[in-house]
């Protein structure tokens, strides 16, 4: 870690507090996502409603951390890696907040009145959901340690999520073609699948911020293949 080397102990404490706050937010969002998938799986309306109700806490954390970052820039005038850390945090919380929105979206879908037969479609989301939670967990872990290697590996995990997502979409389309009357319901599952797939993209963004902080290099838009070269 690059922290712990400031003349001002107070500055250290403040930066570390923000970082901890981000990890708490990340943990909460991961929890929300896990609960939402659980609600979908068990058709648990109570749990789904709780996820939707708790979303405002995630939003409030985003706003609070954003404010803390602006305050620390104004007060401490960070440069170099301190400034990169603050910048990385500002961007990370946007993605975390959006993953929180995804959890709410999934929870909402779980409240739909699916027929028993249609309900079986939700099973196809399970594995996809599990993968996205797994990726998120790995990314948050890499974030906690600011571990570039772990971030790069987690980054590539999105390929698996994309492949699984494509399979789910094909399956859902087949279902719709076989039973056109199911289309409105299946479309809801389709949106949920899409939302889960987007979690992987958000996690990739967070990986990019980790690399940016540690390496000082902006690896957005350079393509998956080139990331390995950059972090060498």
* Residues of the shown chain interacting with a second copy in the complex, contacts defined by CB under 8 A: 56, 59-60, 62-63, 66-67, 70, 73-74, 77-80, 83-84, 87, 90-91, 94, 169, 173, 176-178, 180-181, 183-184, 187, 190, 194, 218, 220-221
Shortest Cβ 129–a second copy spacing (Å): 20
Q: Which one, 17 or 173, has the nearer CB to a second copy?
A: 173
State in Å, rounded, how far the first CA of the chain is from the last one: 18
Q: Which is nearer to a second copy, 77 or 120 (CB)?
A: 77
Distance of CA 129 to the CA centre of its chain: 12
* Cβ closest to a second copy, residue 10 vs residue 42: 10
Closest distance between a second copy and the C-beta of residue 44, in Å? 26
Shortest distance in whole angstroms from residue 63 CB to a second copy: 5
Whole-number Å distance between alpha carbons of 193 and 164: 10
* Residue 19 beta carbon to a second copy: minimum distance, rounded to whole angstroms: 18
Helices (H), the chain: 9-42, 45-76, 80-110, 116-119, 123-145, 148-156, 158-178, 183-215, 224-231
Q: How far apart are CA 217 and CA 2, in angstroms?
A: 16
Task: State in angstroms the smallest separation of the CB of 156 from a second copy.
Answer: 20
CB 142 within 8 Å of CB 210:
yes
User: Closer to a second copy at the Cβ: 105 or 138?
Assistant: 105
- Asked if 48 and 39 touch (Cβ cutoff 8 Å), the reply is yes
Q: Which is nearer to a second copy, 169 or 230 (CB)?
A: 169
For residue 190, the minimal CB distance to a second copy (Å) is 8
- Output 67 or 159, the one with its CB closest to a second copy: 67
Q: Measure the CA–CA gap between 132 and 2, rounded to whole angstroms.
A: 29
Buried b (16+ CB within 10 A) or exposed e, 213-232: bbeeeebeeeeeeebeeebe
Question: 């659980």: which residue's tokens?
Answer: 38
Query: What is the smallest separation between the CB atom of 222 and a second copy, expressed in angstroms?
Result: 9
Distance CA 105, CA 127 (A): 17
Comparing CB distances to a second copy, the nearer of 19 and 84 is 84
């Amino acid at each position: 870690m690059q922290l712990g080397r400031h003349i001002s102990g107070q500055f250290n404490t403040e930066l570390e507090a923000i970082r901890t706050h981000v990890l708490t937010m990340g943990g909460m969002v991961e929890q929300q996502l896990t609960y939402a998938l659980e609600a979908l799986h068990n058709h648990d309306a109570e749990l789904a409603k709780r996820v939707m109700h708790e979303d405002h806490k995630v939003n409030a954390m985003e706003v609070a951390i954003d404010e803390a970052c602006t305050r620390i820039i104004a007060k401490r005038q960070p440069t170099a890696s301190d400034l990169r850390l603050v910048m990385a945090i500002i961007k990370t919380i946007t993605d975390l907040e959006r993953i929180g929105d995804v959890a709410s979206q999934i929870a909402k879908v779980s409240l739909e009145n699916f027929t028993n037969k249609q309900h079986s479609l939700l099973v196809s989301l399970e594995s996809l959901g599990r993968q996205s939670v797994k990726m998120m967990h790995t990314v948050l872990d890499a974030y906690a340690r600011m571990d570039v290697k772990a971030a790069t590996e987690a980054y590539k995990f999105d390929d698996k999520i994309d492949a699984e997502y494509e399979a789910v979409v094909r399956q859902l389309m087949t279902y719709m073609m076989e039973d056109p009357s199911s289309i409105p319901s299946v479309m809801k599952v389709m949106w949920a699948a899409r939302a889960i797939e987007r979690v992987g993209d958000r996690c990739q963004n967070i990986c990019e911020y980790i690399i940016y902080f540690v390496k000082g290099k902006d690896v957005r838009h350079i393509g998956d293949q080139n990331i390995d070269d950059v972090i060498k």
